[in-house]
């Protein structure tokens, strides 16, 4: 088994510095998780754009489902008439048939009017309630116009009405109270019509000769009341579950939407702010890791990262703790591609592009090192490539979960020396003396990233962690130019190999020096902004779609959304004063 870039080494008692990939959201969602991923719904849709859009989609879906079922029932009834009734053609022109088709048209019209999601909250409510009332009146007219005009027809139409109301309660969440009065209002015409019909033309069945019109209407009304109660119960359960999800997924002003990554310190979700429209990523401290030491480390991570303001470093927006004790911080959401995914799918990169990527990543490290911070986990999976503000190939350095502050004792150190980082990108001194790791270790890792970009494979590979680390300590990297398939300029190769020197003193003096060397590196046929723009216009969409499909298949149908303990969070929220 070969060690890959996502493998992270840690000694017992330490937290793994795993990969965080906040870029592409997997979409293999089960129906239950799809419901959870939707924005919270109110009993009556609010004026927020998200609520109106989702409510409109739900109402439109209800109209399409019931409209299709209504047409299917009509087709089945017509086919049955053809088979058993010699006067089947009469079925096509009977007034009750037109009422049936009109009810189907009401629901298809509802679908047509609501599917765009552009209706206001008031319009959605009028269309929702109005469609049910219109269908109920048409069903009642069907009872009065149906052949025979008797109690059996009333029972059949009652069954159809209750099915419609139940479908509405399931698809369009609302409070139990709202469902009760809307369903009762929609069901009221059916018992009344049953009474009028049986009064004018009493049924011939033996039992109904005993009951009479009033008892017949009461019997139908009882079934309608049972249907209303069932619909109200369904709404109470569904609406209650959504309220629990809403309570569990709200973190201050943020609402979690979808899981997009996982790191050594916690889980990352895409989120939305209650007022702002900018994309946001929320990192939660995993509950199983929320001991006092890990909480201090989590706070330290966000506090140190928030000091960094370089445009090539991921930006921190907010930090907080919910009333039920969940620690989180909000950062910018990046819709891009990690260098790991880039090389895995596109292979070795042009020398000019490698130089530009290393220059930007090194610029982010300059600020961090000047503030006395060492990243300690530079690797392709922690460097994101994106198009920001129309600028292609914009680099962001991610995941400062293993950052070390030079002026303070190592907050992650235990009584035993701890080795933190990713084996394929560990500097020799990080293996032999991890407590003394300095900025030069980041330069070694960045050189290893550049080597990987140029060649399409890591500097050293092995069958085990020990073998990989021994090569970092003893073996010399093979110059990329020895591969005849690669076109590697000598100046860039020399600079990368200098970064991979075993002794820190053999590497560039500091990140600022390396940045300047990269800036003035002579390269012929360098990667131009026009080249980058063409790549993002043509190749990037296809590559991102391919990566998303791969991750969806890798999940094997496992839910990709809210993996936190929703029930426990909801219970804690209710228990918190």
Yes or no: say if 307 and 371 are a contact pair by the CB < 8 Å rule: yes
- Shared domain for 438 and 316, answered yes or no, is no
Q: For position 296, which CATH number holds?
A: 3.30.200.20
- Shared domain for 415 and 343, answered yes or no, is yes
Residue 37 lies in a domain: yes
- Of 250, 277, 293, at which residue does a domain stop? 250
- Shared domain for 215 and 301, answered yes or no, is no
Joined tokens for residue 146: 């149906």
Residue 24 lies in a domain: no
- Shared domain for 389 and 400, answered yes or no, is yes
DSSP strand pairing (266-273 vs 254-262):
antiparallel
Query: Which residue, among 176, 177, 173, has the nearest Cα to 245 in the 3D structure?
Result: 173
Torsion, Cα 190 195 198 199, to 10 degrees, reads -150
The number of domains in the chain is 3
- Shared domain for 318 and 342, answered yes or no, is no
Residue 507: what pLDDT?
A: 96
The DSSP letter of residue 282 is: E
- Shared domain for 231 and 122, answered yes or no, is yes
Q: How many CB atoms lie within 10 A of CB 554?
A: 10
Question: What average pLDDT values come out for the chain (577 residues) when binned by 10 residues?
Answer: 40 35 34 38 48 82 88 77 64 69 88 82 87 86 63 75 87 84 86 75 49 76 87 82 63 77 75 79 73 75 83 88 75 91 94 96 95 89 91 90 56 44 87 87 96 96 91 94 92 96 95 95 83 94 86 52 43 45
- Shared domain for 514 and 376, answered yes or no, is yes
Residue 25 lies in a domain: no
- Shared domain for 130 and 255, answered yes or no, is no
- Shared domain for 167 and 197, answered yes or no, is yes
Torsion, Cα 221 224 228 230, to 10 degrees, reads 120
Q: How many CB atoms lie within 10 A of CB 255?
A: 20
279: enclosing H helix or E strand: none
- Shared domain for 323 and 347, answered yes or no, is no
Residue 442: what pLDDT?
A: 95
Residue 398: what pLDDT?
A: 87
Residue 10 lies in a domain: no
401: exposed, middle or buried (Cβ count in 10 Å: 0-12, 13-18, 19+): buried
Residue 143 lies in a domain: yes
Q: Model-level pTM?
A: 0.61
- Of 228, 250, 272, at which residue does a domain stop? 250
**Full domain range(s) for residue 210:** 31-250
- Shared domain for 229 and 151, answered yes or no, is yes
Residue 45: what pLDDT?
A: 45
Residue 22 lies in a domain: no
Yes or no: say if 119 and 60 are a contact pair by the CB < 8 Å rule: no
Q: How many CB atoms lie within 10 A of CB 550?
A: 15
Residue 26 lies in a domain: no
- Of 212, 228, 250, at which residue does a domain stop? 250
Q: For position 532, which CATH number holds?
A: 1.10.510.10
- Shared domain for 200 and 329, answered yes or no, is no
Residue 286: what pLDDT?
A: 64
Residue 270: what pLDDT?
A: 85
Residue 475: what pLDDT?
A: 94
The DSSP letter of residue 88 is: T
Residue 9 lies in a domain: no
């Amino acid at each position: 088994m070969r060690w890959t870039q996502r493998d992270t080494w840690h000694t017992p008692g330490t937290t793994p510095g795993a990969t965080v990939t906040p870029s592409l959201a997997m979409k293999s969602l089960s129906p239950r998780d799809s419901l959870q991923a939707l924005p919270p719904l109110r009993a009556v849709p609010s004026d927020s754009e998200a609520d109106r859009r989702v409510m409109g989609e739900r109402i439109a879906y209800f109209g399409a489902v019931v409209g299709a079922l209504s047409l299917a029932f009509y087709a089945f009834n017509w086919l049955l008439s053809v088979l058993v009734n010699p006067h089947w053609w009469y079925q096509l022109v009977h007034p009750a048939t037109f009422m049936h088709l009109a009810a189907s048209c009401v629901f298809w019209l509802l679908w047509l009017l609501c599917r765009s999601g552009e209706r206001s909250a008031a319009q959605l409510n009028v269309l929702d309630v109005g469609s049910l009332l219109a269908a109920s009146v048409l069903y009642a007219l069907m009872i009065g116009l149906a052949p025979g005009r008797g109690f059996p027809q009333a029972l059949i139409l009652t069954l159809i009405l209750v099915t419609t109301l139940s479908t509405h309660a399931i698809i369009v969440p609302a409070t139990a109270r709202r469902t009760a009065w809307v369903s009762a209002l929609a069901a009221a015409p059916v018992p009344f019509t049953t009474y009028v019909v049986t009064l004018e033309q009493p049924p011939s069945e033996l039992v109904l000769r005993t009951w009479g019109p009033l008892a017949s209407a009461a019997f139908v009304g009882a079934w309608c009341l049972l249907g209303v109660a069932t619909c109200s119960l369904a709404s109470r359960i569904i609406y209650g579950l959504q309220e629990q999800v809403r309570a569990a997924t709200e973190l201050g002003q943020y609402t979690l939407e979808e899981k997009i990554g996982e790191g050594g310190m916690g889980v990352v979700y895409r989120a939305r702010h209650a007022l702002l429209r900018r994309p946001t990523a929320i990192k939660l401290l995993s509950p199983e890791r929320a001991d006092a030491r890990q909480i201090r480390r989590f706070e330290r991570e966000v506090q140190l990262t928030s000091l960094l303001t370089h445009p090539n470093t991921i930006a921190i927006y907010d930090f907080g703790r919910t009333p039920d004790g969940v620690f989180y911080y909000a950062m910018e959401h990046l819709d891009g591609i990690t260098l790991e995914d880039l090389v895995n799918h596109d292979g070795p990169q042009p020398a000019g592009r490698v130089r530009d990527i290393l220059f930007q990543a090194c610029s982010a490290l300059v600020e961090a090192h000047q503030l006395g911070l060492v990243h300690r986990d530079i690797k392709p999976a922690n460097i994101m490539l994106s198009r920001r503000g129309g600028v292609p190939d914009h680099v962001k350095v991610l995941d400062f979960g293993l950052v070390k502050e030079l002026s303070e004792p190592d907050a992650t150190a235990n009584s035993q020396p701890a080795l933190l980082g990713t084996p394929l990108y560990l500097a020799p001194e990080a293996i032999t003396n991890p407590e003394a790791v300095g900025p030069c270790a980041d330069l070694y890792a960045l050189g290893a990233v550049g080597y990987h970009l140029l060649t399409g494979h890591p500097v050293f590979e092995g069958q085990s962690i020990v073998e990989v680390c021994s090569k970092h300590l003893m073996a010399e990297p093979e110059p990329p130019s020895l591969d005849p398939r690669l076109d590697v300029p000598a100046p860039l190769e020399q600079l990368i190999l200098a970064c991979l020197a075993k002794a820190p003193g053999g590497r560039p003096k500091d990140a600022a020096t390396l940045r300047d060397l990269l800036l003035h590196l002579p390269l012929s046929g360098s990667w131009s902004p026009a080249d980058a723009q063409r790549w993002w216009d043509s190749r990037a969409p296809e590559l991102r779609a391919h990566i998303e499909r791969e991750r969806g298949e890798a999940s094997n149908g496992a839910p990709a959304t809210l993996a936190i303990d929703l029930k426990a969070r909801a219970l804690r929220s209710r228990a918190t004063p």
